């Protein structure tokens, strides 16, 4: 950190605009509703996620959930929504 930085006035070269890929603060604060499930996974898969979670200081179940969410997000453009939003003025049955 003690080294002095020497700035020069040189051309930057080709510059390109990068699309904004960061989520909005609202997206970061949003928490989806969770649903508890019982699922039997292979011992090999669970051991893999546990070891990777330990390496990255996170929870293995969170890693599995994010993997499944990423798969669903990748499949979403190809799928049509199965439910239509309910009209709030319509009475419940």
In the predicted structure, residue 57 carries a pLDDT above the cut 70: yes
Instruction: With cut-offs at 50, 70 and 90, classify the pLDDT of residue 1.
Output: low
Q: Bigger pLDDT: 93 or 62?
A: 62
Look at 77 and 78; give whichever has higher pLDDT.
Answer: 77
Which of 84, 45, 38, 83 has its CA nearest to residue 64? 45
| CB distance 53 to 64 below 8 Å | no
pLDDT of residue 83: 45
Give me the mean pLDDT over the 31-58 stretch.
93
Task: Provide the whole-model pTM.
Answer: 0.53
Q: Which element (helix H / strand E) includes 65?
A: helix 60-75
């Amino acid at each position: 950190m003690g080294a002095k930085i020497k700035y020069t006035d040189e051309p930057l070269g080709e510059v390109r605009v990068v699309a904004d890929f960061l989520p909005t603060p609202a997206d970061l604060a949003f928490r989806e509703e969770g649903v508890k499930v019982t699922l039997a996974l292979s011992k090999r898969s669970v051991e893999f996620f546990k070891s990777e979670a330990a390496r990255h200081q996170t929870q293995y179940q969170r890693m599995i959930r994010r993997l499944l969410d990423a798969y669903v997000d990748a499949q979403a453009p190809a799928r049509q929504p199965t439910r239509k939003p309910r009209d709030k003025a319509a009475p419940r049955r």
